[in-house]
Amino acid sequence: MTTVATIDATVTTPAGASLARVWRWCVVLFSGALGSEASAAAVDDSDLADRQCMERLARGDTHALRPIFDRWKLPLLSYLYRALGSRADAEDLALQVFERVYRAAPRFRAEARFSTWLFAIARGELLHELRRRRRKPLEPVAPDELVETGAAADHTAEIEEHLLAALQQLSERERSAILLAAAGDLDHAGIATALGVSVNNLNVILHRARRTLRGLFQKVRP
């Protein structure tokens, strides 16, 4: 039987992002000024496609997992990598999320956007990993995982390292809220559902997290 473990899972982590992309992340993380660039129609089309894939999976069509994997591997890695600060752990958790998606297909009910359901699973895996670590120090990120080539690469790596260090000082709920908001794949209602809080509570969490993150990151300049 084909599972996600048999799919080619070679992925590119967000660690090698360009300087411009890293700074776009900073703007979103700190202020929320930039949201998803996708139109509502595009989001609805993507959600419909995901639901159709889940229906096919529930009927036993294992090939239907591939489009979901291709659509969501990078958003999931972006969230998990910046939440954990470890490329290897993020890749392992992302594969575990897709494994759970595969196994849950017969029970899937489209009561919310697929992305809301998916990131709720991802956060559950993240919380499990954090409990497993039991407050152990984070595995250091190897320099070759962050550095690009060229003069701007060193600056990009430095910014990414500062960003990761600052994010790790937030509480898990604040970190997850701000990363899910920055990813742009969920609206506030979806993020609130994934975190298990009300939309009003989410707004408070995001405001506090962005204010704290700005203070932690204040020494970094473009």
Q: Tokens for 120?
A: 């709720």
Query: Rounded to whole angstroms, how far apart are CA atoms 64 and 58?
Result: 9
d(CA 83, CA 79): 6
Q: Tell me how far apart the alpha carbons of residues 100 and 196 are, in angstroms, rounded to a whole number.
A: 19
> Which of residues 3 and 29 earns the better pLDDT score?
29
Asked whether the beta carbons of 174 and 212 are under 8 A apart, the reply is: yes
**In the predicted model, what is the mean pLDDT of residues 16-27?**
49
Euclidean distance between the first and the last CA atom of the chain, given in angstroms as a whole number: 50
Q: Give the number of other Cβ atoms within 10 Å of residue 66's Cβ.
A: 14
Task: Tell which residue, 17, 174, 145, 32, has the closest CA to residue 85.
Answer: 145
The C-alpha R_g of the chain, in whole angstroms, comes to 17
Q: What is the pLDDT of residues 166-175, one digit of tens each?
A: 888 888 899 8
Q: Tell me the pLDDT tens digit for each residue of 110-159.
A: 777 898 899 999 999 988 888 887 655 445 444 444 334 344 445 556 66
Q: Which domains does the chain have, with CATH numbers?
A: 36-135+152-216 (1.10.1740.10)
- Please state the rounded mean pLDDT for residues 4-17: 42
Is residue 113 a contact partner of residue 47, using CB atoms and an 8 Å limit? yes
Question: Ranked by mean pLDDT, which of 3-7, 61-65, 108-112 comes out on top?
Answer: 61-65
Q: What is the pLDDT of residue 57?
A: 92
What is the reported pLDDT for 122?
92
The pLDDT, as a whole number, for residue 16 is: 42
Q: What angle do CA 202, 207, 208 make, to 5 degrees?
A: 100
Q: How many CB atoms lie within 10 A of CB 115?
A: 23
* Whether the predicted pLDDT of 40 surpasses 70: no
Nearest-angstrom CA–CA distance, 132 and 129: 5
Share of residues in the chain with pLDDT > 90 (%): 20
In this prediction, residue 156 carries a pLDDT of 59
Q: Which of 145, 35, 134, 46 is nearest to 90 (CA)?
A: 145
